[in-house]
Chains A and B, each alone.
Chain A
Amino acid sequence: KQEVTQIPAALSVPEGENLVLNCSFTDSAIYNLQWFRQDPGKGLTSLLLIQSSQREQTSGRLNASLDKSSGRSTLYIAASQPGDSATYLCARSRNTGKLIFGQGTTLQVKP
């Protein structure tokens, strides 16, 4: 059973496009939802954390939203750049503090 699902698995867009990455989860009893970025062969970098009482968080060109009732989160990237090319992972946490990760969306932004 896949508790956290990310669609699509891969995405290729031209530079400058606005884009949305999707994350869905099966259990609405979450404590928070986190978005991470992973470059090839590297660890994960935390981008945004949305607590269960919040609906969205923004950082620069990134905006993440959370809809617990529908079990969905989206990561919006404005004016994409080639440097945004990476794998983006979402993860939800339960009250145990453990994170459950999705399989990620690999983004390629073409110059």
Chain B
Amino acid sequence: DGGITQSPKYLFRKEGQNVTLSCEQNLNHDAMYWYRQDPGQGLRLIYYSQIVNDFQKGDIAEGYSVSREKKESFPLTVTSAQKNPTAFYLCASGSGPYNSPLHFGNGTRLTVT
């Protein structure tokens, strides 16, 4: 079955620690995206990548970093510089930049205390 896998589903960290969220897809999609979802605020774009070894900042990239060394993988690191990291993080992929529907993973809920 093709799809996007995000792991873990729940993640707990202490303030000041970096944490990496995993996103893997076997859909052979070129484009991958990271979104953050907060209650009442909809989804906001953190980073996106249209092709391997290339990525661009989204609207709220501060305090986050990504890499795209393989087509299938787009891990997101939440650094200690992110002021309010507790949120629901969603990874998505698409076969083209404009007119293809996005496929989403089931998300990782990160809680930082």
Residues of A within 8 A of B (CB): 4, 31-32, 34, 36, 41-46, 49, 51, 89, 91, 93, 95-99, 101-104
Q: Which residue of A lies closest to B44 (CB)?
A: A101
Cα-based distance from A36 to B42 in the complex (angstroms): 12
For this complex, into which size category does the number of interface residues on chain B fall?
A: 20 to 34
Inter-subunit contact B107/A101 (CB<8 Å): no
Residues of B within 8 A of A (CB): 4, 6, 31, 33, 35, 40-45, 48, 50, 58, 90, 92, 94, 96-107, 109
Cα-based distance from A89 to B104 in the complex (angstroms): 13
26 contacts between A and B (CB under 8 A): A31-B98, A34-B101, A36-B104, A43-B90, A43-B92, A43-B107, A44-B92, A44-B102, A46-B103, A46-B104, A49-B99, A51-B99, A89-B43, A91-B43, A95-B98, A96-B97, A97-B48, A97-B94, A97-B96, A97-B97, A98-B58, A99-B43, A99-B102, A101-B35, A101-B42, A104-B42
CB distance from A100 to the nearest CB of B (A): 8
Cα-based distance from A72 to B100 in the complex (angstroms): 20
Cα-based distance from A95 to B103 in the complex (angstroms): 19
Inter-subunit contact B98/A93 (CB<8 Å): yes
CB distance from B46 to the nearest CB of A (A): 11
CB distance from B60 to the nearest CB of A (A): 12
